[in-house]
Structure 1
Amino acid sequence: MGVRVGSLVSRIVGAAVLAFVLLVASTALAIWWTARQDSRPSSDAIVVLGSAQYNGVPSSIFEARLEHARKLFEAGVAPVIVTVGGKADGDEFTEAEAGRDYLAETGVPAEALLAVPEGVDTLESIRAVAAEFTEHGWASAVLVTDPWHAMRAERMADDAGLDAASSPTRQGPAVQTRTTQFKYILRETAAYLLYRATGESVAGAPGIG
């Protein structure tokens, strides 16, 4: 009897481990697939998810996102670019302000820019953007972020009531090498599964929280 019980437990544990491995693998594959897509339907606004800034100067990751958003704007995807993101303790500028100022300096009209200086992670930022969309009567958005971050950002936006598509960047540190890409996919897989399980975000490196 003991042998049978032990065998049953082993099978259950084995099945649970296999199910977990398949879940992780399928999520990683979905993140990779979403990263390769580029959806840019006509929308109410282009939303640039924030990343690090240094005394008002966007980091290389953030700059890549902003440049991509500017190209989408010039292509007529949306009439407004929304920059979003708060600031760390001791910072003088928010990510949203740094992004807005960068775009203004590159020729985007001031009336086509909206800074939402809130959010220390993706979830907070998305919720702040959703509130602004409600206030302006907007519904649809094209999210600009790193490729590996796109699926989680889309999911959070959908959960916040936005009609969201993503147009990931193709330049910048997040896509430079296969090793970097693999690292980001692993981190995003963990972050996505955590969000689906708990409804919460996770703080981390730029583009991960």
Structure 2
Amino acid sequence: MSTGLGFGATVARWVRRTLVGVVLIGLVLVGGTALRVWQVARIDDYSHADSILVLGAAQYDGTPSSVFQARLDQGAELYRMGVAPLVVTVGGKQVGDEYTEAEAGRDYLVTRGVPADRILPVPVGSDTLQSIEAVAAALHARGLDSTVISSDPWHSLRARTMARDAGLQAWTAPTRTGPAVYTRESQLHGIIRETGALLWYQLTHFSADFKYKGDQ
């Protein structure tokens, strides 16, 4: 009887230790990923590239949302700095929309002084992964293979990871304006969301995209 109780206690102890170990590993994995999201968000790499990639966001009848405008303004600034001779805008459209995100982005960049013949709209993609894969195909078709990504700071690591997986040499110089960075709350929201989205991508190689709070 005592032997059976002792064996049961031993099993229960090992189950508890295993559960604690799994929880600790999960915390380390999540915490480490969140740290990397935060670290890459702070990087501004202005190394010369073949292109500047401005990732799409919501647009309304051709007018970029505040999140999209911040990304586009950064893309225009990178072009003026001579980081790359070509700016790529990307993104499809919702049912009923007249403009794609790529077209709205192109038109906005022209108003910011970027020559129309220096802009390549890629009107494809409803999430980051689809968009980046479409851009990689468009750049490779032109013999180009490097890009600097303009997006929100917290989006940088996932976008860079996807771009490199798609065969591009990619680095980041994110916007420092817009709803994604206005408040501590929006910054924390972005880090948490991107940590989960990056872990999901690394596990499944599918995208998990959600609108930024304040993307309007």
Tell me, in whole angstroms, the C-alpha distance in 2 between the residues paired with 1:107 and 1:57: 17
Q: Which residue of 2 aligns with 1:12?
A: 18
Cα drift, residue 203 of structure 1: 3.2
Does the alignment pair 1:75 with 2:81? yes
Contact 1:52 1:206 in 2 (8 A): no
C-alpha distance in structure 1 between counterparts of 2:113 and 2:191, whole Å: 34
Taking the aligned partners of 2:22 and 2:212, their CA distance within structure 1 comes to 33
2:126 corresponds to which residue? 120
Equivalent runs, 1:124-203 vs 2, <5 Å: 124-203=130-209
Aligned twin of 1:23: 29
Unaligned runs of 5+ in 1: none
| Counterpart in the other structure of 1:97 | 103
Once the two structures are TM-superposed, the CA of residue 206 in structure 1 deviates from its matched residue by 4.5
In structure 2, what is the Cα distance between the partners aligned to 1:184 and 1:139? 28
User: Whose radius of gyration is greater, 1 or 2?
Assistant: 2
Q: Which residue of the other structure, out of 6, 9, 30, is the alignment partner of 1:3?
A: 9
Q: Which amino acid letter does the alignment assign opposite residue 92 of structure 1?
A: E
- 1:123 maps to amino acid: L
Cα distance in 2 for partners of 1:176, 1:107 equals 26
1: CA distance between counterparts of 2:175 and 2:209?
A: 21
How many residue pairs get aligned? The number is 207
Output one character per residue of 1:40-77: Cα deviation in whole Å (capped at 9) or x when no partner: 21000000000000000000110011111111101100
> What is the Cα-based RMSD across aligned positions, in Å?
1.0
Residue 106 of structure 1: CA displacement? 1.8
Residue 3 of structure 2 is matched in structure 1 by none
Alpha-carbon distance in structure 1 between the residues aligned to 2:71 and 2:92: 16
Q: Percent identity?
A: 52
Q: CA separation of 1:97/1:120 partners in 2, compared to 1, >3 Å: closer, same or farther?
A: same
> 200, 205, 208: which one pairs with 2:211?
205
Q: How does 1:52-63 map to 2 (within 5 A)?
A: 52-63=58-69
Q: What letter is aligned with 1:139? A: D
User: Any conservation in 2 of the 1:85–1:116 contact (CA below 8 Å)?
Assistant: yes
Contact 2:46/2:173 (8 A) holds in 1: yes
**Contact 1:51-1:206 at 8 Å conserved across structures:** no
TM-score normalised according to structure 2 size: 0.94
The DSSP-based 3-state class of the residue aligned with 1:15 is helix
Give, in whole Å, the separation in 2 of the partners of 1:184 and 1:122. 15
2:4 corresponds to: none
Q: In structure 2, what is the Cα distance between the partners aligned to 1:141 and 1:86? A: 20
Corresponding residue of 1:37: 43
What is aligned with 1:108? 114
CA contact (8 A) 2:93 2:99 kept: yes
